[in-house]
A and B are shown apart, each in its own frame.
Chain A
Amino acid sequence: MIPPIAKVLARHLIKGPHTAKDNIPASDRALRELAESLGITAQVKLGRSLAIRAIDAGSCNGCELEIHAANHPVYDLERFGIKFVASPRHADVLLVTGPVSWNMAEALRRTVEATPEPRWVVAMGDCAIDGGCFAGSYAVAGGAAAIVPVDMTIPGCPPTPTDILSGLLALLEAVEG
């Protein structure tokens, strides 16, 4: 019997990956171009690929779902040299999601401090920008900027993978190379 994994692998060899179909809709094509130029910009500006550390400072986990989606094979950020890393010590960009809950404020501060310079803090999602619908609570400090200096924001509730890509590209373009 042919094991199913062989079938799956053979299928991908013959049909190609999910990301590289010829009949992709225009929006996906635009996305690919976006991601490619993001990868190139990272190379030009940083001289290497871009490492991102995501940090949830109080999000409802909607933003996390979209970050995961950006890493799935359809968007597959990593093929452009944009990768999510496990430690802030390896990161160029800190992607902060959620309103900053007071219980996470200290952890966020320390995570930013643990990231070597040059580093950029990106507030992702409406909550990270100004607290969103959680602003004004006794348990919420506000947006990410209430606790750490923020270089850029990506609006949306939650931002789509395309929004995340264009946001990161805008950041890199603004960086002095």
Chain B
Amino acid sequence: MMGNVTLLEFLSMGREVANHRPWPRYQLDSKGWHALAEQMSVSNWEILAEWGEPAEIHVLLRGEDSGAIAVASHPCPDGAFYSLGQFRPSAIRLERAIRDLWGLIPEGLEDQRPWLDHGHWGITHPLGRPRQYDGGRHVYKFLTAEGDGLHQIPVGPVHAGVIEPGHFRFHCQGETVVRLEERLGYVHKGIAGLMSGKPINDAARIAARVSGDATVAYSIAFARAVEAALGLEIPARAHWLRALLAELERVANHLFDIGAICNDAAFAIMLAHMGALREKLLACNARLFGHRLLMDCVIPGGVAINVDESAKAQLLTLVASLRKGFKRGVALYDQTPSLLDRTTGTGIVHSTLAHRFGASGFVGRASSRAVDARKLPGYPPYDDLDFTIPVLADGDVHARVAIRVEEVRSSLNLIEQILARLPDGATSAPLPMRAGEGVALVESFRGEVALWVRLSEAGKVVRAHPHDPSWFQWPLLEAAIEGNIVADFPLCNKSFNCSYSGHDL
């Protein structure tokens, strides 16, 4: 075993692939990949995403201390690779999905059950070497829990509310949850397959719809990956306008989340209060940018919107009014003991787990993981803006609410800073026709969105892989609910607010 080696030192034993930007990509041979897998059990390198190709496996890594980011690839012509998930549990579901989609078998992984493939597609390995599948739907073996008086509660995929579909299998002892197991993949739409072969602008529309609530973040991630692949510098104003849209999206989602979490603790007035605030923001979005959720406002090469002096004034008025209303809402939350009683100490995620799974966003930050893509690796214009990342150690529902509260405040400040210092100039740059590979890491309201893309010389997307932060948050929900009562599950689930669509892809 090697000593204290940095990520880039380690990877440099592989072959560097040309035209991969902004961070390098290294191809490792079988020996190198094995060594990488073993490093997973001793190093603190984080897996940011893992995906496949018909005969190659890729993993996006960050050397935690140095902040260095790189892609490690391993050609696997015989259709199998040495599993990273056996050493790093965050990769287990990723590798099960890789097996379903590309047909690459993760060797050494204990859990070989399918994940996204439910046996309904009519083919197997749709993105690898597809084969006709005529068998029935898969029978999924849930993990068991045994003991006196244990009973199961199956929930979903169709839930009793306006929620996305997914299946939860509870094993309970009376009211207490002994084990929760999630089964996801119901909204798998084959997004990676759809993006392949599409012109860049068509693929951008799909990227904007990976997860509708994080549409701005996904659009920025796709645009940044494309711009990196093309080696394109976009005008400064475009960067700043993107950040403006991203912060508006963050505020809108956090407001809704805070309201909805309290609503799941039967404190409905908060949902109404936050809903009214959120509606102000969405109406303003529609007025100024033509879309309530800001879909397709960010395009590869820049942005498709602009703000003039009147728009600035309207946004500043909006920020002031949101701040006032939000203060009132937070006071209500902070001083309602019966509500705090529900959120405090409920659904605790221990920081060791948050670190092991590399959870980002409010789930990670509420469990002492101070990670934010806006700071590390950082991207413009955030390096020019003044903001801090809130971190708490409690890891309960209350901490996840408190992180969101801080982030709303910080995002409102960011919007004011952006409006005050918005540089003049063009809002987009034309895309050159060039081949290349690019990767981007962008902070959505939920956490780090990673997006990798390979472009052809004809200006088309050869392959693209969007990765949602929910991949590393869903498994922690299973841990958070353990020992809590069934009635607290909606509360815990909403405090995570993982994306089904972003995860299922």
Complex Cα spacing A43 to B129, Å: 56
B276–A8 touching, CB < 8 Å: no
Check A101 for interface membership: any CB of B closer than 8 A.
yes
Q: What distance in Å separates the Cβ of B479 from its nearest Cβ neighbour in chain A?
A: 24
Q: Which residue of A lies closest to B279 (CB)?
A: A74
A73–B162 touching, CB < 8 Å: no
Answer whether A60 and B212 are a contact pair too, CB < 8 Å, given A103-B187, A134-B189, A160-B292.
yes
Complex Cα spacing A86 to B162, Å: 9
Contacts of B377 in A (CB 8 A): none
Q: What distance in Å separates the Cβ of B17 from its nearest Cβ neighbour in chain A?
A: 29
Complex Cα spacing A72 to B275, Å: 5
Q: What distance in Å separates the Cβ of A169 from its nearest Cβ neighbour in chain B?
A: 20
Q: What distance in Å separates the Cβ of A66 from its nearest Cβ neighbour in chain B?
A: 7
B162, B186, B295, B504: the one contacting A107 at CB < 8 Å is B186
Contacts of B278 in A (CB 8 A): 69, 72
B165–A60 touching, CB < 8 Å: no
Check B210 for interface membership: any CB of A closer than 8 A.
yes
Complex Cα spacing A88 to B209, Å: 27
A67–B212 touching, CB < 8 Å: no
Check A139 for interface membership: any CB of B closer than 8 A.
yes
Q: How many residues of B contact A (CB 8 A)?
A: 58
A64, A88, A139: the one contacting B190 at CB < 8 Å is A139
Contacts of B5 in A (CB 8 A): none
Q: What distance in Å separates the Cβ of B291 from its nearest Cβ neighbour in chain A?
A: 9
A60–B269 touching, CB < 8 Å: no
The segment from B35-43, B50-58, B117-125, B307-315 found at the interface with A is B117-125
Complex Cα spacing A153 to B69, Å: 46
Complex Cα spacing A3 to B334, Å: 10
Answer whether A137 and B190 are a contact pair too, CB < 8 Å, given A60-B210, A62-B209.
yes
How many A-B contacts are there with CB distance less than 8 Å?
165
Check B348 for interface membership: any CB of A closer than 8 A.
no
B194–A72 touching, CB < 8 Å: no
Answer whether A4 and B501 are a contact pair too, CB < 8 Å, given A60-B212, A61-B164, A102-B120.
no
Complex Cα spacing A18 to B123, Å: 52
Check A65 for interface membership: any CB of B closer than 8 A.
yes
Check B282 for interface membership: any CB of A closer than 8 A.
yes
A67, A73, A132, A134: the one contacting B276 at CB < 8 Å is A73
Check A58 for interface membership: any CB of B closer than 8 A.
yes
Complex Cα spacing A37 to B477, Å: 43
B206–A133 touching, CB < 8 Å: yes
A137–B189 touching, CB < 8 Å: yes
Complex Cα spacing A18 to B269, Å: 13
Check B256 for interface membership: any CB of A closer than 8 A.
yes
Complex Cα spacing A86 to B186, Å: 19
A158–B189 touching, CB < 8 Å: no
Q: Which residue of A lies closest to B267 (CB)?
A: A5
Most chain-A CB neighbours within 10 Å: which of B120, B205, B273, B286?
B120
B185–A158 touching, CB < 8 Å: no
Q: Which residue of A lies closest to B215 (CB)?
A: A62
B160, B210, B273: the one contacting A86 at CB < 8 Å is B160
Answer whether A84 and B162 are a contact pair too, CB < 8 Å, given A101-B187, A105-B120, A138-B121.
yes
Check A157 for interface membership: any CB of B closer than 8 A.
yes
Check B335 for interface membership: any CB of A closer than 8 A.
yes
Q: What distance in Å separates the Cβ of B217 from its nearest Cβ neighbour in chain A?
A: 13
B130, B157, B279, B331: the one contacting A72 at CB < 8 Å is B279
Q: What distance in Å separates the Cβ of A79 from its nearest Cβ neighbour in chain B?
A: 12
B206–A61 touching, CB < 8 Å: no
Answer whether A61 and B157 are a contact pair too, CB < 8 Å, given A68-B256, A74-B276.
no
Q: Render A33-60 as a binary contact track against B, CB cut-off 8 A, 1 for contact.
A: 0000000000000000000001111111
B331–A60 touching, CB < 8 Å: no
Q: Which residue of A lies closest to B296 (CB)?
A: A157
Most chain-A CB neighbours within 10 Å: which of B161, B190, B209, B275?
B209
Complex Cα spacing A120 to B20, Å: 52
Contacts of B193 in A (CB 8 A): 137-139
A4, A86, A136: the one contacting B331 at CB < 8 Å is A4
Check B328 for interface membership: any CB of A closer than 8 A.
yes
Q: Render A72-103 as a binary contact track against B, CB cut-off 8 A, 1 for contact.
A: 11110000000010111000000000110111
Q: What distance in Å separates the Cβ of A11 from its nearest Cβ neighbour in chain B?
A: 8
Q: Which residue of A lies closest to B275 (CB)?
A: A72
Check B126 for interface membership: any CB of A closer than 8 A.
yes
Check B420 for interface membership: any CB of A closer than 8 A.
no
Complex Cα spacing A103 to B332, Å: 42
Contacts of B504 in A (CB 8 A): 101
Check A104 for interface membership: any CB of B closer than 8 A.
yes
Check A166 for interface membership: any CB of B closer than 8 A.
no
Complex Cα spacing A73 to B336, Å: 22
Contacts of B256 in A (CB 8 A): 65, 68
Complex Cα spacing A132 to B209, Å: 10
A4–B162 touching, CB < 8 Å: no
Q: Which residue of B lies closest to A64 (CB)?
A: B162
A65–B158 touching, CB < 8 Å: no
Contacts of A4 in B (CB 8 A): 328, 331-332, 334-336
Check A171 for interface membership: any CB of B closer than 8 A.
no
Q: Which residue of A lies closest to B331 (CB)?
A: A4
B157–A104 touching, CB < 8 Å: yes
Answer whether A56 and B163 are a contact pair too, CB < 8 Å, given A8-B273, A138-B121.
yes
A104–B212 touching, CB < 8 Å: no
Name 6 extra pairs, CB < 8 A, besides A57-B165, A58-B187, A138-B123. A58-B186, A84-B161, A104-B157, A105-B120, A133-B194, A139-B190
9 contacts between A and B (CB under 8 A): A8-B273, A56-B162, A58-B186, A60-B501, A62-B295, A87-B160, A106-B120, A106-B137, A138-B122
Interface, chain A (partner B; CB < 8 A): 3-5, 7-8, 18, 54-69, 71-75, 84, 86-88, 98-99, 101-107, 111, 132-134, 136-140, 157-158, 160
